[in-house]
Amino acid sequence: MGDKLDIIIFGASGYTGRFVIAEMIRICRNYPDIRWAIAGRSKQKLEAALLVAKDKAEDVSRIQIIIADAEDEESLKAMCRCCKLVMNCSGPFMCYGEALVKAAIECKIHYIDVCSEFTFLETIKKYDAAACDSGVLVINACGLGCLTADLGVLFLQQQFQGTLNSVEAYLTTQPEAIRGLPKNVIRNSTWEALIFDAMAKPFWGSSKKVGDLKLEPELKTRIFVHKRFNRWCVPFPGSEEIVVQRTQNYFKHSRPVQFKRYHSLPSLITSLASFIGGFFILFLLKVFCLSSFFLKYPRIASLGLVTYGDPDEKIMERLRFDYLMVGVGWRGDVKGAPRDEMIVEVYPIGKRNAPYEGTAIAVIYSALTILTEREKIPKCGVLTPGAAFRNTSIIDKLNNDNLKFEIKATNKI
Ligand SMILES: NC(=O)c1ccc[n+]([C@@H]2O[C@H](COP(=O)([O-])OP(=O)(O)OC[C@H]3O[C@@H](n4cnc5c(N)ncnc54)[C@H](OP(=O)(O)O)[C@@H]3O)[C@@H](O)[C@H]2O)c1
């Protein structure tokens, strides 16, 4: 692997990719030996993406640009032969992801991505044996949403000092100051990914159950709007639940933790609207098969949430990303109802655009952890972030870079 670059950021011209470039420049000041490049299908767009990063007063002329198209297998392989690890920030992943996973495995390099598409995560599992034959890692879901949920549960397990039965996670993205439905905050490619996923999922619930263990007491979904931490919360099943379950089932020797996720909103009206709206959209997609309408007219179908351009910076700067995770279990004998509770908060601080800068930081430290702590990570396979990074110092690295994992409270129930 002598002269190879360490990391190639594929899809670097996209909205996420541009945050990854800027954060990579900043973070790699502390990793001067890491050699990295950016890649995508359009030289012009990649150059423009570098110029955005240049706002941060950095000389970017040394950063190599590699042209590769997700629809051209040979170009993907040529790119993969140049590096040790490829970081996929292109999307939607169901359209453009699988070819790169294949190319990475064939060229015997590690692959990571920021995917949170349930369908893609399921599709990629079939490459586990091939990844092991090549001795490489394929780690999906290293973006902010899934990685923090997965590592947050592991953090709770490590800190709890007992047996954790379940974790309920409450995600806040919308602060009190933003009432109603924000406009122009979702990129069209993310909307497409959401629609593809909704089409593939069952009408209700995250997907088939992972693992056969029947755990007592069972953690049931709170199916209605409910109040927690002074905010209104609605069930928000997504890939996070799948990723956490897969990680928990990966460690065969320990009791898996049950996990449910909710979205926490500032008012009863907003939460009811999002609950009913979410159901209504699923109903239209599933019963009336309206996916082509949703894909063709995303702005109308999303009531203005979706934008073809970059999300509205003024709103993005006000959005938060904050998980409050409530773990319950037993500090002593595992008997009866859980008696102990620990609350952990996971959140980025000091970020201009918390969701996207947070994603950039999450995926970059995933890559750096693979390259610098290889001996602490399972040898190979298609893994979740938690399964891959449990024994590494990734949480310390993230904490030191202001993506915080903090214990907020420990209580007797
Ligand atoms: N898990 C998380 O927390 C998280 C957070 C953020 C984003 N994401 C996911 O990341 C993905 C990208 O999001 P985004 O907002 O950055 O989207 P975006 O701005 O639309 O960027 C998409 C990127 O994919 C590239 N691309 C599309 N088709 C390609 C092809 N055939 N060959 C090579 N590159 C191709 C685009 O290249 P061009 O510039 O040449 O069009 C662009 O660089 C989405 O799937 C989104 O859901 C996940």
Residue 345 sits in a domain whose CATH number is: 3.30.360
At 283, list the tokens.
């109903």
* The pLDDT of residue 152: 98
Q: Which of 190, 361, 398, 403 has most ligand 1 atoms within 8 Å of its beta carbon, as the pocket-test mutant?
A: 190
For residue 338, the number of C-alpha atoms closer than 13 Å in the C-beta half-sphere is 22
Span from the CA of 90 to the centroid of ligand 1 (angstroms): 3
For residues 141 and 239, give the distance between their C-alpha atoms in angstroms, rounded to a whole number.
9
Q: State residue 149's pLDDT score.
A: 98
Shared domain for 364 and 294, answered yes or no, is: no
Pair (127, 189) in one structural domain = no
Expressed as residue numbers, the domain containing 129 is 5-143+360-389
pLDDT surpasses 80 at 203: no
Secondary structure (3-state) at 122: helix
Q: What is the CATH number of the domain that holds 53?
A: 3.40.50.720
Banded pLDDT at 342 (limits 50, 70, 90)? very high
247 with 261, same domain?
yes
56 assigned to some structural domain: yes
Tell me if residue 405 falls in helix, strand or coil. Answer: strand
What is the structure's pLDDT at 213? Answer: 67
Residue by residue, DSSP assigns 212-261 as ----SS------S-EEETTEEEEE---HHHHHHHHHHHH-TTSPPPEEEE
16 alpha carbon – ligand 1 mean position (Å): 7
- The answer as to whether 394 is a domain residue is no
**Average pLDDT, whole number, for the chain?**
91
Structure-model confidence comparison of residues 187 and 8, the more confident one: 8
Say whether both 154 and 253 belong to one domain: yes
Ligand 1, pocket residues at CB < 6 Å: 11, 13-17, 40-42, 45, 69-71, 89-93, 96, 114, 116, 143-146, 187, 189-190, 193, 359
- Residue 396 inside a domain? The answer is no
> If you ran DSSP here, which 8-state letter would residue 200 be given?
H
CA of 346 to the centre of ligand 1 (A): 25
pLDDT band at 2 (very low <50, low <70, confident <90, very high): low
Q: Which two tokens stand for residue 74?
A: 């040979």
The structure tokens listed for 233 are 């919360």
Q: Is the pLDDT of residue 408 over 80?
A: yes
Distance between CA 58 and CA 22 in Å, rounded? 9
Give me the pLDDT at residue 56, please. Answer: 59
What spacing in Å lies between the alpha carbon of 213 and ligand 1's midpoint? Answer: 37
Task: Specify the pLDDT at position 274.
Answer: 82
Same domain membership, residue 280 and residue 214 = yes
- Residue 395 covered by a domain: no
Q: Are residues 133 and 148 in the same domain?
A: no
Task: Say if residue 44 is in the same domain as residue 65.
Answer: yes
Does a structural domain hold residue 27? Answer: yes
The tens digit of pLDDT for each residue in 268-281 reads 888 888 888 888 88
Whether residue 178 is found in the same domain as residue 135: no
Is 150 within a domain?
Answer: yes
**What is the model's pLDDT at position 102?**
98
pLDDT tens-place string over residues 23-47: 999 999 999 999 999 999 999 999 9
Q: Domain check: are 333 and 383 in the same one?
A: no
If one counts the domains in the chain, the total is 2
| Statement to judge: residues 118 and 137 lie in one domain | yes
- Tell me what the mean pLDDT of segment 335-354 comes to: 93
DSSP string of 154-167, one letter each residue? HHHHHHH-SEEEEE
The answer to the question of residue 398 being in a domain is: no
Residues 380 and 323 occupy one common structural domain: no
Q: What band does 207 get if pLDDT is binned at 50, 70 and 90? A: very low
Is residue 48 one of the residues assigned to a domain? Answer: yes
Alpha-carbon span 124 to 101, nearest angstrom: 8
CB-hemisphere CA count at 13 Å for 124? 34
**pLDDT tier, 93 (very low <50, low <70, confident <90, very high otherwise):** very high
pLDDT of res. 153:
98
**Side-by-side strand order, sheet with 381-383:** 64-67, 36-40, 5-10, 83-88, 110-113, 137-139, 381-383
Q: What is the mean pLDDT of residues 51-56?
A: 72
Chain centroid to CA 17: how far? 14
Q: How many residues does the chain have?
A: 413
Same domain for 19 and 84? Answer: yes
When pLDDT is averaged across residues 161-185 and rounded to a whole number, the result is 87
pLDDT at 204 over 90: no
Instruction: pLDDT band for 288, please (50, 70, 90 cuts).
Output: confident
